[in-house]
C-alpha cells in the first residue's frame, strides 16, 4: 500500500477504512467477530488508517476497533471524534453538540479506554459547536497533546474561518469532510485553505454512501434502520435522476478496465497528494475492490475529463436531512 502524509507529518496509508457502518447507520450492526476479521484483513492488505467515533453505536464502534487492532496497535493510526453528548435519559441517541473543554477532557478518557490505547493518534471535533469558541476547543486538544493523550488534532465539516482560527491555536493535521464526485463543494474554498495551511483532507463517503459503486438503483430497498431512508438524495426519484453521474463513471471505468468505485476513489487520490479517502465497507470483496483503486492510474487529462463531464450533471437532492445539514459549516 502506498503512503500519504497529512498535516504535521502524520503518515498514513493512501486509503483508510471507515468503520462506522460496522456498528451503526447502515442497517443493523454487523457480527462483531466478522468485523474484527475484516479490520485485520484490511491491515494485512496494507491499510494502516482506521476511522471511528465516540458516537458510532454509540461507543461500541470504538470498542470494536480497539479490540481488532490490539495485536498490531503500534503499526496503525487510529482516528476518533468528540463533540456530542447523549440525550437525557437515553444513551442510544446523541443529539446535542458539546465541545466544552471540560467535556472534551472527560470523554477522551472513555475513548482511550475503548480503543485500548495510551494516546489517540488523530482526535477530531466531530462537528463545530456554535456555543463554544473554536479557540477553546483547539486549546483543550492542545492540552491533551501536551499531556500525551492525543497526538494530532483534526476538524470535521468545518468552514474556512473555523479552520483558520483553530489552526492558529493548535495546528490542524486533517479536515474530515464529505468529498466525492457527487459532492464537490469543498473545491470552492476548503481545498485552497487546506493547501495553504498544510492540512490534509480525509474524505468520508467518498463513494456517495454507496451510490457510486453502482450497487444501488431505483429498486434498492434499504433496511428500516438505514439512515439513507432519511436522506433526500436517496429518494427513488432522485436516485433515478442521479444515475446520470453513475453512468458517466461507468463509462470511464470500462475504458480503464476497472470498477466504478475504483474510478471514484482514484479520482480523489489524483486530486491532491494529501487527500486520503476512508471508504467504509463490511464486506471483504468490497474492501479488496476499494484497495485496488490505489493502483489505478489517472492522467491529468483523465482527471480533467471526469471533472468537466461530471460538472455538467446536476445532482438532485440534499446530502443530509435539514436537521443534520444545519450542523455543517459552509
Residues forming the active site? 56
CA distance 69 to 71: 6
Identify the residue whose cell numbers are 443493523: 28
Residues 51/84, Cβ–Cβ less than 8 Å: no
- Residue 3 grid coordinates: 503512503
**By C-alpha distance, which of 94, 119, 122 is closest to 109?**
119
CA distance 50 to 43: 9
CA distance 35 to 284: 10
Q: Which H/E stretch holds residue 202?
A: strand 200-204
Q: Which residues pair with 80 in a beta bridge?
A: 123
Q: Is 72 strand, coil or helix?
A: helix
User: How many CA atoms within 13 Å lie on the side-chain side of 167?
Assistant: 21
**By C-alpha distance, which of 328, 2, 20, 1 is closest to 175?**
328
**By C-alpha distance, which of 34, 25, 33 is closest to 284?**
34
Q: Which residues pair with 150 in a beta bridge?
A: 120
CA distance 76 to 53: 16
Amino acid at each position: 500500500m502506498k503512503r500519504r502524509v497529512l498535516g504535521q507529518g502524520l503518515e498514513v496509508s493512501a486509503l483508510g477504512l471507515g468503520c462506522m457502518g460496522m456498528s451503526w447507520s447502515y442497517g443493523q450492526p454487523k457480527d462483531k467477530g466478522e468485523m474484527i476479521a475484516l479490520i485485520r484483513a484490511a491491515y494485512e492488505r496494507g491499510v494502516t488508517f482506521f476511522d471511528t467515533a465516540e458516537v458510532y453505536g454509540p461507543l461500541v464502534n470504538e470498542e470494536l476497533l480497539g479490540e481488532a487492532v490490539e495485536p498490531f496497535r503500534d503499526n496503525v493510526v487510529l482516528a476518533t471524534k468528540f463533540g456530542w453528548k447523549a440525550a437525557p435519559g437515553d444513551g442510544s441517541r446523541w443529539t446535542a453538540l458539546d465541545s466544552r473543554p471540560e467535556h472534551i477532557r472527560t470523554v477522551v478518557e472513555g475513548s482511550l479506554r475503548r480503543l485500548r490505547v495510551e494516546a489517540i493518534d488523530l482526535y477530531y471535533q466531530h462537528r463545530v459547536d456554535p456555543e463554544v469558541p473554536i479557540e477553546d476547543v483547539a486549546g483543550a486538544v492542545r492540552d491533551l497533546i501536551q499531556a500525551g493523550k492525543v497526538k494530532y488534532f483534526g476538524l470535521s465539516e468545518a468552514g474556512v474561518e473555523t479552520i483558520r482560527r483553530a489552526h492558529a491555536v493548535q495546528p490542524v493535521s486533517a479536515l474530515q469532510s464529505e468529498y466525492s464526485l457527487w459532492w464537490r463543494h469543498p473545491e470552492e474554498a476548503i481545498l485552497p485553505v487546506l493547501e495553504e495551511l498544510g492540512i490534509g483532507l480525509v474524505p468520508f463517503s467518498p463513494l456517495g454512501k454507496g451510490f457510486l459503486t453502482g450497487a444501488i438503483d431505483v429498486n434498492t430497498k434499504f433496511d428500516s434502520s438505514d439512515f439513507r431512508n432519511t436522506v433526500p438524495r436517496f429518494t427513488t426519484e432522485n436516485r433515478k435522476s442521479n444515475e446520470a453521474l453513475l453512468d458517466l463513471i461507468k463509462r470511464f471505468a470500462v475504458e480503464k478496465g476497472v470498477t466504478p468505485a475504483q474510478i471514484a476513489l482514484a479520482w480523489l487520490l489524483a486530486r491532491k497528494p494529501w487527500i486520503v479517502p476512508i471508504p467504509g465497507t463490511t464486506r471483504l470483496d468490497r474492501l479488496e475492490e476499494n484497495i485496488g483503486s490505489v493502483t489505478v492510474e489517472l492522467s491529468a487529462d483523465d482527471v480533467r475529463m471526469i471533472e468537466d463531464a461530471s460538472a455538467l450533471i446536476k445532482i438532485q437532492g440534499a446530502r443530509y436531512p435539514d436537521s443534520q445539514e444545519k450542523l455543517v459549516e459552509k
